[in-house]
Amino acid sequence: MADGRAGAVTELVRRLGHDFKNRALLDRALTHASVGEGAPPQTHRTPRDNERLEFLGDRVLGLLVAERLHQDFPEADEGALSSRLHALVDKQACARVGAALGVGPALRLSPGESKSGGRRKEGLIADAVEALLAAVYLDGGLAAAKGMFDRAWADEFARPADRSVANPKSALQEWAQAQGRPLPVYRIVSRSGSDHAPTFTVEVQVEGYPVAGSQGRSRQEAEKAAAITMLQREGVI
């Protein structure tokens, strides 16, 4: 598996289009917290996993998406820009980017996490994508991060801005009312992860239909993802 992962890392670097001067940043970006299970808590001087990089990458991604949308849609109002931004930075978008880059096979996981299918888990891949963006930013500056972003998010920007995806909670509410049902009800199932990078699991219920659940980095993001899951399951989008 070590040889396979080494090849996957080499291919990932090629797709990122960035030659790392500090390879330790790349390795940390690909290291999941499960690798350090049982070790003493990490400090800001000795980071071992990608959680801190994920925190930074989330902010870098938000800036780059906002800048691109501001440039590409000069007539759009703040609401339209915000909706499009959320669709481009959410967990599902980052996971699609990670799948295209081949992040899963390059991840450094504990044996247990690897056996449980960690390389295919949407959340792990999405988090690593943000960590990689931060690693490129720290290694080469904002211009290098923008280069990776422009390549990696090209397909996401090419996707049509489906209103149901941009405003899934509103779309689900309208659909439920069209079926003669009460408004959807959202429920937080769990909250996990660190304080600066939490993961919320949320379920949405529409009377007469099975619940649908999903995850997100905030309650709002998780609710939107759950709404999309139900809309897709019911063939609305």
Nearest to 96 by CA among 40, 156, 149, 20: 156
pLDDT band, residue 79 (cuts 50/70/90): low
- For residue 213, the cross-strand partners are 203
pLDDT band, residue 42 (cuts 50/70/90): low
Task: Judge contact between 200 and 217, C-beta under 8 A.
Answer: yes
CA dist., res. 225 & res. 214, Å (int): 6
Q: What is the pLDDT at residue 165?
A: 62
Can you tell me the mean pLDDT for 93-114? 94
- Spell out the domains of the chain, with CATH numbers in brackets: 2-161 (1.10.1520.10), 165-233 (3.30.160.20)
Catalytic residue selected from 51, 58, 113, 139:
58
CA dist., res. 12 & res. 165, Å (int): 29
Can you tell me the mean pLDDT for 62-82? 86
Q: What pTM was estimated for this model as a whole?
A: 0.70
> Is 130 a catalytic site residue?
yes
> Is 54 a catalytic site residue?
no
pLDDT top residue among 44 and 109:
109
pLDDT top residue among 132 and 88:
132
pLDDT of residue 40 exceeding 70, the answer is: no
From first CA to last CA, the distance across the chain in angstroms is: 39
Catalytic residue selected from 130, 139, 203, 223:
130
pLDDT in tens, 163-212: 556 678 888 998 999 889 999 999 999 998 777 778 899 999 999 999 99
Output the CA angle 149-151-157, nearest 5 degrees: 80
pLDDT in tens, 154-174: 999 887 666 556 678 888 998
Q: Helices (H), strands (E): how many in the chain?
A: 12, 3
